[in-house]
Structure 1
Amino acid sequence: MGKTMRRAVRATGHLLLAAAMAFGVWIFVCVLLITAVGTLALVGAWMLPETVLLIRRIAGAKRKTTAAWTGVRIPEAYQPLTGTTRERFRTAVHDPGTLTDFRWMVAYYLYGALVFLALPLWPIGLVVDGVWSGLLRRQPVVLPLIVRIADLEADWSTALLKPSPKAVLARRVEELAATRADAIAAHGAELRRIERDLHDGAQARLVALSMRIGLAKRAYDRDPEAARKLLDEAQDQAEQALTELRQVVRGIHPPILSDRGLVGAVRALAASSGLRVSIEDDGLDEGVRAPAAVEAAAYFVVAESLTNAAKYSGSPRAEVRLTRTRRGLRVRVSDVEGRGGAEESGGSGLLGMRRRVAALDGTVDVSSPVGGPTVIEVELPCVW
């Protein structure tokens, strides 16, 4: 009886929220009528996008309350209402999510009455089930009915609010377009970085090297000691140029990935990070490699995260976890004792990380509350 009562209490709370929302929907019908009249009269066409935004908020609130009861998140798939009034109007009309939300609102206007009818069952259930189970030792009847009504209401809302395949496809196209734009921007930034490193580093060293060799050739006959000194300097310049070229190559695709694999490369990063880094490589068996692009993205995520941890977190240690999943590769980096408060706009490299991962259709989740720690989780899809 106690467990049944607790579930009935939760169900009643869910139904109370549903009843309040149903009452709000009944009132909102007036707004819909005003919007319809204004749109047909043309002078109020600007109201339609604003009304659609309100419907999205109401439907979003219903998705959250339904998910809280069922434990299953209901996704959203909307096209952004931006641009001029004409563009916003056109988007509001043609967005498949508008029809989905409007269909739910009309249905909720009708079956919302069921929610109000279910609320009086609570006091009735206490009396009837108390006598039924207390005196007659039978299973309660009315309180489980309240739970069943809450389940039924949540099932209807889930079915009606779930985006249509067309809406999901439209949202996916937008995400891919944004991902492509980010990938192009990241690629352009990477090319500019490589060009800058070559121009300011290796190229400058090679120019200085050529000048010293020329000076050494002219001084060879008349001043061998000066020529030898110039050749020594030229050798130093050549070694520095080679070092900078290696750094540029490492920035394009680290050779250590090809030589030692992702786990070995991450261990090398950890050794040179200046932090005490613990590494777990769950599921990454020897001989099983992710695609080169995925390994490179994971490597740069770890490199950027450890660099940020060393620079900004104030933590003496970090944790790296590499996990092979059914869908791909998961990378998790935590600074353990960091101060938190990381911001993407603060020049910490998080934006570049997102772009690099998004180019592979991956996801980045950053948790960095004030007081820490900062945890970066990356999912990179791939086929093993």
Structure 2
Amino acid sequence: MSVEIKVPSVGESITEVQIGAWHAEQGKWVAQDSEIVELETDKATFDVPAPLDGIIVEILKKTGEMASVGEVIGYLEEAERPADQAAPAPEKSPEKAAAAPAPKAEAPAHAGGGSDDRVMPAAARVMAEKGLSPADVTGTGPGGRILKEDVLAHQGGAASGNGAFREEEIVPMSPIRKKIAERLVEAQTNAALLTTFNEVDMSSVMELRSQYKDLFLKKYDVKLGFMSFFVKAVVDGLSQFPQINAEIRGTDLVFRNYYDIGIAVGGGKGLVVPVMRNAERLSFAEIELKINDFGQRARANKISLDELQGGTFTITNGGVYGSLLSTPIVNPPQSGVLGMHGIQERPIAVNGQVVIRPMMYIALTYDHRVVDGREAVVFLKRVKEALEEPARMLMEI
């Protein structure tokens, strides 16, 4: 009996998906509920499970092609597992699965059976054809990355490293990347964006982390990071200046008494911003646990569509990538986004003396249609003060 493999409904506003990687080849047997194909939308990536034990008899849509919701993309023939095929590995227990590090998404496959971030996609395909692994090839790209010409040179093809081999690779934009581009242009076109800056002496936060990090880790089984301090400081500032937590809806301004904070994290398919609901009710430990969970699931492309919608303010941390200063872009229809940056020891004046302190530049981009300049500047100053004297957040002063 043949069973249709269809694109399931993934949300009211989504009518089309892009076919990602097929986890099972045509002619291969798959177990019921095992992931057989990855689908990408403009908001998230998800996998389609096999409806029953059987063999993939036909694949109608290849990787990179588009398909409509409800469209048939393949056929599965019901069959028992062949005697010569090993049984699938047992699933990890929830406790072990949570503790295991999330796999990095989109790492190219190769003959060695694992993945390597140094291998570029074109090189990975040639390596798979030639039966090579990254250990066999010397990379000449930036940071030792392995390029296609490196693989060909290893096989006696074009000379590597002399600049004689030049090529371009055309890759279709994923739905997520298209949506990111669309929303960034929308923000710059429809909003009156302005950015204000300040700098924070991170000494107090770093001292608190150093003092309590071991106890925190022991009690909550998660590291105490910087982001929980920033979430707390932002919620404190938003409570003082509600315009920055508001949005324009038609000809009205909508104010909220809750704070749903979007946390920008790097995912397998690009930057995603899952939302931390009711951040004002969360403890430091609850914030850190959610951030850790967001990061793991974003890398594995497991963030759900609901988690990406409805934020009231966003925090993004370019410092983890080495950024010293930037102007973040508001995520519409929100009215503000806070940018964190790298911490650097710099000389500053304190009580008439020049001292060396760990300093971070922070940036607030806001929609000037909703937020006045004075409110934006004082809000950012409030965030700065809360981070430099964390006790003020507890005392609400």
- TM-score in terms of structure 2 length: 0.24
Q: Which of the pair has the greater relative contact order for Cα pairs under 8 Å at 6+ separation?
A: 2
Normalization by structure 1: what TM-score? 0.25
Q: Which structure's CA Rg is the greater one?
A: 1
* Structure that is richer in helix per residue: 1
